[in-house]
Structure 1
Amino acid sequence: MTHVVTDACIKCKYTDCVDVCPVDCFKQGPDFLVIDPDECIDCAVCIPECPVNAIYADTDTPEQFEPFLEINARLSKLWPTISKRIAPLPDAELWKDKTNKLAGLDLG
């Protein structure tokens, strides 16, 4: 089992989860984070740390967020590892309660 970062992280990029990850499985993109499924050890310590509830176990991912399983797997191979907390994006507070943010994001 692995964990997955979903829609709520987009345009926020809170990194509280990164500080508690024992294996540095988070990868950083310009607008959000993903989890490398090959690095994640299923410890689940990141879930309660996420202030926007963006992280799920892959087996508990709500149906509307299932595309994020593939997105995390693909982008984790392209983006660099992040292992220390950084400031959220400047407009994070404006975006944190919005939904369906994936539609406007260019994933290459």
Structure 2
Amino acid sequence: MAYVITDPCIDETDQSCVDECPVDCIYEGDRMMYINPDECVDCGRCEPVCPVISIFHEEDVPADRAVFIEINEQFFATIGSPGGARKIGPVGADHPAVTEWAAT
């Protein structure tokens, strides 16, 4: 996995990262976006455009947000690697931990 989206993205509606991604690997759940680790090419273009500072390279994810490495990986266990988010549109679901995440 290259980049990981973390909790500041929950309930954030800005999708600048999607617009910036050259390989269409950022998928839309109900409450947040997810980067497909098999499709990401590690370019880093998504990170600086995130308005809520939610995207980190896997090695740089803050310790208190490290659970999101696993959350991002597990999200794709159900949908696999469709080969582009635009092909399938919004997924219509989230990882269970995100679904239950309390608004802060």
Contact kept, 8 Å, 1:5 with 1:35, in 2: the verdict is yes
The match for 2:56 is: 56
CA RMSD of aligned residues (A): 2.4
Aligned positions, number: 89
Closer, same or farther in 2 for the Cα pair 1:54/1:21, shift >3 Å? same
State the percentage of identical aligned residues: 40
Higher relative contact order, structure no. (Cα contacts within 8 Å, ≥ 6 residues apart): 1
Gaps spanning 5+ residues in structure 1: where? 84-101
Match of 1:3 in 2: 3
Structure 1 ranges of 4+ moved more than 2 A: 76-83, 102-106
Q: Structure 2: which 5+ residue stretches go unaligned?
A: 87-97
1:13 CA drift (Å): 3.4
Residue aligned with 1:70, SS: helix
Q: TM-score, normalised by structure 1?
A: 0.72
Aligned partner of residue 17 in structure 2, secondary structure: helix
Task: Measure how far apart 1:34 and its partner are.
Answer: 0.7
